[in-house]
Structure formats: C-alpha cells, structure tokens
C-alpha cells in the first residue's frame, strides 16, 4: 500500500502580534484540503501547527503556495516541514547577528562616531538588498573608519539591545542539545561579546584590523560573506556529524540567503518581505519585529558563569 506524503504546516508571526488568528488558521486549513491531525497552538495568536497528509503528488512547495494564497498579505510566516513530529528538533543553529539576534546594524552605529551615517547607511542598505558585492561594500565602508580610536567601539557595544526572542531561541536550542553558532558578516570585536552573553558555542565573523589602538580602515581577509556563511554551516554540520536536514539558520538579508538555502528542509518564504527568514525552524518565527522588551548587553560585558 502506497504511503501518502505528509507534512507539518507551521504558521508563525511576530511575538505578541496576534496575527495568527482563528480565521487565518481556518483559511489555511480550507486551502490545503488534506487530512489534518495534531493541530495545535504553539503560542496562541503567534504560532500554530498541524500535521497534514496530502494526496498523491502533493509537495511542500504546492502546500505552502496554497496556504500563502489563502492567507494573502497578512504578516504571517508560512513554513512546511516534511514528515511529522519525528526529527523536528534541530541539532545545529547558525544565526546572523545584526538585525536578527540584536536590533542594530553595528557598522551604522560606528558611522555615528565618525559622522558619516548617511553614506554608510546607504551602502549598507544596498548591500543587504544584494545590489552591491558584500566584500567590496564592506571594505568601502570600513575604509571610512580609518584612524578611529578602538576604545570608542565600547560605546557602540554598550547601546546594543537583543532582539526579543533571541535569548530564548539560543537557550531553547542548547537545552535540547543543539550546537549554536553566531555567524556574522559583522565584526568579532562585537560578535564575541554578544555570543558569550547569550551562550553561543561558536562565533564566526570578520576581524577589524586595529594597530596602535586605532582602526586601520581594513578588514582582515578572508572576508566572511554570503558564500562563507553557507560554507560555515556546512563545515560545522560536517564537524559535528550532523546532516543538513538537522540544521537551522536564521538571518535578515541578502548576505544570509546562501546560509538559509543550505539549512534544513523547510519551504522558504517566497520573498524578503518580512525581515527575518528562518529555515529548519520548528514553531519559531521571526523575532524580527521590535515588540516586547528588549535586553541590553550588560555594561560590564561580563560573560555569565
């Protein structure tokens, strides 16, 4: 007897938004037309899932497209996980840092120290949209920081706030035995401290060159860009004996697309219309909206024991 394909449909929205309504759930269910079991709220108003068995020839992409058409432009992420509950807990998390784990774009904050915010912000936005080569745009921006006293970067770090839900994501992954890595196109001088505060196992990021207490305006090579992020996920998975289907990635821009596409089996949100895109994620959506309470990195930057 042939086994029909089964999937788990996951609807998620910004925490506290209440965007996943009963009407939204009914619209998605009606659009799928399959046999639904184990439907449940993961977080009322914010996250809901259902195991769905579809007819012969059904696929994750067709299932997501049907749900997307039914839900329309509502601020709800639609993800489809092959199979049922088995294998839902992922074993590796690779997370972007800026505008994902923290609320800021730190290169823009550094620009505030040297008075070139508008120029830097325009380059950053274009790079995040994929309009500029990441490595070239990074070197162009960092070149404007030549001569800045390195100790002034402490003021940037002092104003960093965590994205709502970020700490819970890392804590939950670790509690379930996953390896966690902060994989950032930003800089180690910030990423290492933020990773230590949140409990990430590993940090991979770019290195600002500092000589005699001042920024040189250069970034040490090799520069970690889109391909480097994807390769980092693959490398960490291989080192841990973890299949890509057991990995999870989260990020917010064009620089993250390769890493997101490499991570475990989940249908990808069709566009970048929402800030954070997650792949391989079980019932966790975007902590992209700046809602709820944000947490600052402690002023003394001490690593918790």
Instruction: Return the pLDDT at 4.
Output: 66
Identify the residue with better confidence: 89 or 303: 89
pTM of the predicted structure, to 2 decimals:
0.80
DSSP β-ladder status, 77-82 and 92-95: unpaired
pLDDT higher than threshold 80 for residue 282? no
Distance CA 212, CA 229 (A): 30
The three-state secondary structure class of 23 is: helix
CB 153 within 8 A of CB 173: no
The three-state secondary structure class of 132 is: coil
Instruction: Return the pLDDT at 150.
Output: 98
CATH 3.40.50.1000 occupies which residues in the chain? 92-106+148-296
Domain 6-82 belongs in CATH node 3.30.70.260: yes
Distance between alpha carbon 27 and the CA centroid of its chain, in Å?
A: 27
CA terminus-to-terminus distance, the chain = 55
Task: Provide the 8-state DSSP code for 1.
Answer: -
What's the average model confidence in pLDDT over 103-122?
93
Instruction: Pick the most confident of 66-70, 158-162, 250-254, 293-297.
Output: 158-162
pLDDT digit string, tens, across residues 70-84: 999 999 999 888 776
Instruction: Return the pLDDT at 60.
Output: 78
CB 154 within 8 A of CB 188: no
pLDDT higher than threshold 90 for residue 89? no
pLDDT digit string, tens, across residues 29-73: 888 776 667 889 999 999 999 888 876 666 778 888 889 999 999
The three-state secondary structure class of 143 is: helix
* Res. 235 pLDDT band, cuts 50 70 90: very high
CB 226 within 8 A of CB 244: no
pLDDT digit string, tens, across residues 129-143: 878 889 999 999 999
Q: Which string of DSSP letters, residue by residue, matches 224-293?
A: --HHHHHHHHHHHHHHTT--GGGEEEEE-SGGGHHHHHHSSS-PPPSSS-SS-EEES-SS-----S--S-
Domain 92-106+148-296 belongs in CATH node 3.30.1330.10: no
Number of residues that make up the chain: 305
Q: Name which of 19-23, 65-69, 184-188, 276-280 the model is least confident about.
A: 276-280
Instruction: Return the pLDDT at 263.
Output: 93
Mean pLDDT of the chain: 84
Q: Name which of 136-140, 154-158, 166-170, 263-267 the model is least confident about.
A: 263-267
183 Cβ partners below 8 Å, 6+ apart? Answer: 94, 95, 96, 97, 204, 205, 224, 229, 232, 233, 259
What's the average model confidence in pLDDT over 125-129?
81
Instruction: Return the pLDDT at 285.
Output: 34
pLDDT digit string, tens, across residues 194-234: 999 999 999 999 999 999 999 999 999 999 999 999 999 99
What's the average model confidence in pLDDT over 12-40?
86
Task: Provide the 8-state DSSP code for 149.
Answer: B
Q: Which two tokens stand for residue 33?
A: 């037309």
pLDDT higher than threshold 80 for residue 293? no
Q: Which string of DSSP letters, residue by residue, matches 73-103?
A: TSS-EEEEEESSSTT-S-SEEEE--BTTTBS
CATH 3.30.70.260 occupies which residues in the chain? 6-82
């Amino acid at each position: 007897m042939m086994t029909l394909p089964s999937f788990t449909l996951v609807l998620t929205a910004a925490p506290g938004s209440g965007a996943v309504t009963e009407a939204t759930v009914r619209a998605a269910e009606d659009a799928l037309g399959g046999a639904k079991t184990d439907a449940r709220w993961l977080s009322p108003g914010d996250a809901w899932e259902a195991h769905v068995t579809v007819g012969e020839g059904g696929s994750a992409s067709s299932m997501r497209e049907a749900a997307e058409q039914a839900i329309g432009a509502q601020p709800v992420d639609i993800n489809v996980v092959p199979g049922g509950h088995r294998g839902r807990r992922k074993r590796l998390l690779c997370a972007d840092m800026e505008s994902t784990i923290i609320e800021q774009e730190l290169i823009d904050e550094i620009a505030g120290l040297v008075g070139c915010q508008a120029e830097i912000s325009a380059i950053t936005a274009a790079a995040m949209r994929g309009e500029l080569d990441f490595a070239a745009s990074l070197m162009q921006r960092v070149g404007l920081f030549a001569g800045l006293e390195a100790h002034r970067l402490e003021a940037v770090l002092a104003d960093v706030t965590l994205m709502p839900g970020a700490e819970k994501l890392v804590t939950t992954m670790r509690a379930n035995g996953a390896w966690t890595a902060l994989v950032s196109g930003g800089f180690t001088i910030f990423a290492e401290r933020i990773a230590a505060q949140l409990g990430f196992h590993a940090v991979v990021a770019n290195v600002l060159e500092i000589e005699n207490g001042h920024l040189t305006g250069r970034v040490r090579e090799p520069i970690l860009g889109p391909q480097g992020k994807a390769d980092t996920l693959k490398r960490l998975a291989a080192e841990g004996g973890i299949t890509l289907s057991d990995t999870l990635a989260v990020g917010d821009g064009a620089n993250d697309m390769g890493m997101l596409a490499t991570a475990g089996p989940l249908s990808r949100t069709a566009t970048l219309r929402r800030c954070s895109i997650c792949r391989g994620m079980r019932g966790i959506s975007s902590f992209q909206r700046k809602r709820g309470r944000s947490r600052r990195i402690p002023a003394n930057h001490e690593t918790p024991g």
